[in-house]
Amino acid sequence: MIPLRDNQATRRLTLVNVMLIAANVVVFLHELTLGRGLEGFVYEYAMIPARVTSALEGTREFARVPYDAGAPALETIFTSMFLHGGLLHLLGNMLYLFIFGAAVEEAMGHARYLAFYLISGVAAALAMAAFTPHSNVPVLGASGAIAGVLGAYFVLFPRAWVTTILPIFVLVYFVEVPAIVYLLVWFVAQLYAGVSQNPEVTGGVAWWAHVGGFLVGILLGPMLATSRPARRAR
Per the DSSP assignment, residues forming a β-bridge with 167 are 172
The whole-angstrom separation of Cα 149 and Cα 147 is 5
The whole-angstrom separation of Cα 161 and Cα 184 is 13
Q: Do 156 and 108 meet the contact criterion of CB atoms below 8 Å apart?
A: no
Instruction: List active site positions.
Output: 143, 210
Per the DSSP assignment, residues forming a β-bridge with 173 are 166
Cβ neighbours, 10 Å, residue 178: 13
Q: Residue 96 belongs to what H/E stretch? A: helix 87-108
Q: Do 166 and 175 meet the contact criterion of CB atoms below 8 Å apart?
A: yes
C-alpha pair distances (Å), 43 with each of 37, 40, 49: 10, 5, 12
Sheet (strand 161-168) strand order:
2-6, 161-168, 171-178
